[in-house]
Amino acid sequence: MVTQFWRNWIQAGFFVLFVLAPPLDIFRLDLNLGHFILFGHNWTLGLEPFQQGLIGSAEAIFNLITRGFLPIALVIITGVWVSWKYGRLYCGWLCPHFSVVEMINRLMRRASGKPSIWERQPLPEEQPDGSTIKPDVRYWFVVGIAVIGFAFLWAISLLTYLITPSEVYSNLLNGSLTRFQGIFLFAGTLVLSIEFLFARHLFCRFGCAIGLFQSLAWMGNHQAMVVGFERGRSSLCRSCQNQCDNACPMRLRPRLAKRRMFTCTQCSQCIDACDEVNTGMSLLRWVSGKEAEIVAERRSTNTET
Please give the backbone phi and psi of residue 164, each rounded to the nearest 5 degrees, phi first.
-45, 115
Q: How far apart are CA 152 and CA 156, in angstroms?
A: 6
Domain span at 103: 2-44+87-215
Give domain status of residue 18, yes or no: yes
pLDDT at 188: 97
Residues forming beta bridges with residue 256, ordered by sequence position: 304
Tell me whether strands 27-30 and 41-43 are parallel, antiparallel or unpaired: unpaired
Whether 195 has a pLDDT exceeding 90, the answer reads yes
Name the average pLDDT for the chain: 91
Considering the domain architecture, whether residues 20 and 160 belong to the same structural domain is answered as yes
Whether 299 has a pLDDT exceeding 60, the answer reads no
In this prediction, residue 198 has a pLDDT band, given cuts at 50, 70 and 90, of very high
Burial status of residue 31 (CB atoms within 10 A of its CB: 0-12, 13-18, 19 or more)? exposed
In this prediction, residue 267 has a pLDDT band, given cuts at 50, 70 and 90, of very high
Considering the domain architecture, whether residues 26 and 169 belong to the same structural domain is answered as yes
pLDDT at 52: 80
- CA dihedral of 152, 158, 163, 169, whole degrees rounded to 10: 30
- The closest alpha carbon to 185, from 158, 161, 207, belongs to 158
- The closest alpha carbon to 209, from 38, 102, 95, belongs to 95
pLDDT higher at 255 or 97:
97
Considering the domain architecture, whether residues 211 and 254 belong to the same structural domain is answered as no
Give domain status of residue 6, yes or no: yes
Least confident among 88-97, 222-231, 289-298: 289-298
Residue 90 near residue 4 (C-beta atoms within 8 A): no
Considering the domain architecture, whether residues 163 and 231 belong to the same structural domain is answered as no
Least confident among 19-33, 175-189, 199-213, 230-244: 230-244
Q: What does the DSSP assignment read for 89-103? A: HHHHHT-HHHHHHHH
Considering the domain architecture, whether residues 237 and 280 belong to the same structural domain is answered as yes
pLDDT higher at 305 or 156:
156
Domains contained in the chain, number:
2
Give domain status of residue 53, yes or no: no
pLDDT at 304: 45
Considering the domain architecture, whether residues 146 and 166 belong to the same structural domain is answered as yes
pLDDT at 300: 46
Considering the domain architecture, whether residues 201 and 234 belong to the same structural domain is answered as no
Last residue of a domain, one of 215, 238, 264: 215
Segment 101-150, tens digit of pLDDT: 999 999 999 999 999 999 989 999 988 888 899 999 999 999 999 999 99
Read off the pTM. 0.89
Amino acid letter, residue 4: Q
pLDDT at 301: 44
Q: In what order do the strands lie in the sheet with 35-38?
A: 27-30, 35-38, 41-43
Alpha helices in the chain (DSSP H): 2-20, 48-51, 57-64, 70-86, 89-93, 96-112, 139-160, 165-173, 179-194, 200-202, 209-219, 243-247, 269-277, 289-299
Residue 135 near residue 113 (C-beta atoms within 8 A): yes
Give domain status of residue 268, yes or no: yes
Give domain status of residue 95, yes or no: yes
Segment 43-67, tens digit of pLDDT: 988 888 877 888 888 998 998 899 8
Whether 303 has a pLDDT exceeding 80, the answer reads no
Considering the domain architecture, whether residues 17 and 100 belong to the same structural domain is answered as yes
pLDDT higher at 129 or 192:
192
Give domain status of residue 171, yes or no: yes
Give domain status of residue 78, yes or no: no
Whether 239 has a pLDDT exceeding 90, the answer reads no
Whether 302 has a pLDDT exceeding 60, the answer reads no
- Taking residue 250's Cβ as centre, other Cβ atoms within 10 Å add up to 23
Segment 167-185, tens digit of pLDDT: 999 999 999 999 999 999 9
Last residue of a domain, one of 215, 244, 261: 215
Considering the domain architecture, whether residues 148 and 291 belong to the same structural domain is answered as no
pLDDT at 259: 83
Mean of pLDDT values over 31-44: 90
Considering the domain architecture, whether residues 232 and 127 belong to the same structural domain is answered as no
pLDDT at 298: 61
pLDDT at 257: 78
Last residue of a domain, one of 215, 248, 280: 215
Considering the domain architecture, whether residues 91 and 226 belong to the same structural domain is answered as no
Mean of pLDDT values over 92-102: 96
Considering the domain architecture, whether residues 228 and 252 belong to the same structural domain is answered as yes
Q: How far apart are CA 50 and CA 59, in angstroms?
A: 8
Most confident of 122-131, 184-193, 291-300: 184-193
Give domain status of residue 61, yes or no: no
Residue 216 near residue 79 (C-beta atoms within 8 A): no
